[in-house]
Amino acid sequence: MNVPGPIPPHGGRLVSRFDSSLVDVLGRPRLAITPRQQADLDLIGVGAFSPLEGFMDKVTYDDVVEGMRLPSGLAWSIPITLAVSDEKARELTGADTVALTDEEDHFLGILELEEIFDIDLSREARMVFGTDEQEHPGVAALYAHGSKCLAGPVRVARRMPLDAASENYRLDPLAAREKFDSHGWRSVVGFQTRNPIHRAHEYITKVALETVEGLFIHPLVGETKSDDIPPDVRMRCYEVLIDGYYAKDRVQLGVLPAAMRYAGPREAILHAIMRQNYGCTHFIVGRDHAGVGNYYGTYDAQHIFEGISIPDELGITPMMFEHSFWCTRTGGMATSKTSPSGPDERIFLSGTKVREMLEAGEAPPAEFTRPEVAKILIEAAAASGSG
């Protein structure tokens, strides 16, 4: 079957592991999985993690951790595993199938258990995140899940729930590809974000859109850090921005039900792979993609793509952008490539400074964000403070 969209999925086939006929059989061993693991299960089910059909085995895990490749040679940067405690692994030893549930015991699907293997958590942390410090949120999540991994194909019976605002924009890879075809787009650039779009983001998405036919604004709405802005607030920001400041016939908004790993360079590759599966031909990689704290160099997330062969190992084309700013000399957004200004003529605002302004009820300057977006963020900050 020909898959719609302007580019083949990663590996050539869009995986689907959903089975509406699945039933919860009494007596089958059960495993309650975390929200982060539910997100991975959901992404396997809809094909966002194509060509994966389940959670990785030991051979695949080692290839990914050590070489950022699947055994087939395709690029893959972060292991997708189902980690459990030693005690739970002992309980499940010898089982053929395992019922996967959420933490309230709602049936989600089935794991066809083929292997249980050990992992070195500290080694994975250093290889994937570049640190084994538990202060790193991705490392903390890795350590919290255990050092035994269950491997095998999955079948998924139930979607991961989203908040109401995000649910309105849920587009699975097949549906996104059909949307792109209906728009007549032969080239699409994907934009990953976990924050409202400020002026720098608006600038780079519009520059990218000048070279392709469509823009896929694709915010991540799974688990993030506690101080990140909630998805329902972000969705309102995206809506007012698209309504007032983009050519609406050139933009498609959807959501990615993935958890943030904050793995910097390696996560940039995974984000690109997923956007290829959603049908994007290009992907924006900013200066600190999926970064956190000071764990990664300014352009590490761009440099990592230099070691990947395109299109042999990865079909989607990364689009690299420098740090953009408001240039007071030219009166607009720019980068060091396009602006003749000096340091004192460039306006940057940190996320920390913006949060402080919002909490104080102050609107960030127009050089940082559009007023309609600022209004939503101020109101949300005030409501959160009053709660």
Residues classed as catalytic:
194-195
- Residue 277 makes CB contacts below 8 A (sequence gap 6+) with 9, 10, 14, 47, 48, 49, 50, 173
From the list 136, 18, 68, 72, the residue with the least C-alpha distance to 272 is: 68
Give the Cα separation of 149 and 83 in Å (integer): 4
**What torsion do the CA atoms of 87, 93, 96, 100 make, to the nearest 10 degrees?**
10
d(CA 277, CA 177) in angstroms, rounded, equals 9
What is the 3 state secondary structure string of 221-278? Answer: CCCCCCCCCCHHHHHHHHHHHHHHHCCHHHEEECEECCCCCCCCHHHHHHHHHHHHHC
* Residue that is written with structure tokens 């908040």 in the block: 163
The token pair at 63 is 């290839």
Strands of 113-234, DSSP E: 115-118, 148-156, 188-193, 214-219
Contacts of 223 (CB under 8 A, 6+ apart): 35, 36, 39, 259, 260
**C-alpha triplet 244, 250, 252: angle, nearest 5°:** 85
- How many Å is the maximal CA-CA distance in the chain? 71
Give one word for 293, left, alpha or beta, with left for phi > 0 and alpha for psi -120 to 50.
left
Residues 6+ apart with CB under 8 A from 317: 281, 282, 283, 310
From residue 223, how far is each of 34, 39, 157, 256 by CA, in Å? Answer: 10, 8, 21, 11
Q: Report the candidate in 163, 164, 131, 47 with the shortest Cα–Cα distance to residue 300.
A: 131
